[in-house]
């Protein structure tokens, strides 16, 4: 799900992260301490929720299209906020708590051309393994092992 982070996703994170953890998240997302301090100082009278939200907006402004949902989820996990990352995924994907689906990545590597294609999509882990296996079988049958054909096979299976 390499989509650009939305305002709703930023709001969700801002509402569910502590001010202390928010500084760690903003650093992980690439903001430097002077920038974080400036944003927090600019919104000192607004309260911690607004400071966090503005810090996340600053990340989006600086990173532009590179500030993706995957990047936000990875940064949350990297700072130990795994539960918030998972809850964000559940919220964004509209899943029910406990539903065995999430954001998964399937990587297919070609032995002949040494190329690799990775795609993210919503599925259960079992489905992802099954898809990966199906892709490998189709590649084996086709013997067309160019990077372009890897991508086409992934696209066909995931549609």
**pLDDT tens digits for 26-59?**
999 999 999 999 988 888 888 888 999 999 999 9
In this prediction the pTM is 0.61
The 3-class secondary structure across the chain, one letter per residue, is CCCECCHHHHHHHHHCCCHHHHHHHHHHCCCCHHHHHHHHHHCCCCCHHHHHHHHHHHHHHHHHHHCEHHHHHHHHHHCCCHHHHHHHHHHHHCCCCCCCCEEEEEEEECCCCCCEEEEEEEECHHHHHHHHHHHHHHHHHHCCCCHHHHHHHHHHHHC
Q: Over the stretch 63-85, which tens digit does the pLDDT of each residue have? A: 988 998 889 989 999 999 988 98
- Helix (H) / strand (E) element for 120: namely strand 116-123
Residue 148 has a pLDDT of 52
Residues of the chain with pLDDT > 70: what percent?
Answer: 61
The CATH classification of domain 7-93, taken from the options 1.10.357.140, 2.30.30.90, 3.50.7.10, 1.10.533.10? 1.10.533.10
What average pLDDT does the structure give for the chain? 77
Coarse DSSP helix, strand, coil percentages of the chain, rounded to the nearest 5 percent: 65, 10, 25
Q: Is the pLDDT score of 97 beyond 60? A: no
Residue 14 has a pLDDT of 93
């Amino acid at each position: 799900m390499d989509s650009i982070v939305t305002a709703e996703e930023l709001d969700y994170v801002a509402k569910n992260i502590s001010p202390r953890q928010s500084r760690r998240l903003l650093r992980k997302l690439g903001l430097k301490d002077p920038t974080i301090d400036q944003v927090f100082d600019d919104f000192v009278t607004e309260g911690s929720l607004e400071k966090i939200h503005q810090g996340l907006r600053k990340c989006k402004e600086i990173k532009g299209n590179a500030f993706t949902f995957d990047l936000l989820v990875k940064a949350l996990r990297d700072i130990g906020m795994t539960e918030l990352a998972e809850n964000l995924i559940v919220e964004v994907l509209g899943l029910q708590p406990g539903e065995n689906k999430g954001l998964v990545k399937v990587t297919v590597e070609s032995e002949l051309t040494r190329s690799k294609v990775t795609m993210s999509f919503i599925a259960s882990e079992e489905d992802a393994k099954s898809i990966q296996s199906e892709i490998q079988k189709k590649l084996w049958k086709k013997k067309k092992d160019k990077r372009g054909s890897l991508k086409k096979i992934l696209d066909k299976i995931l549609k």
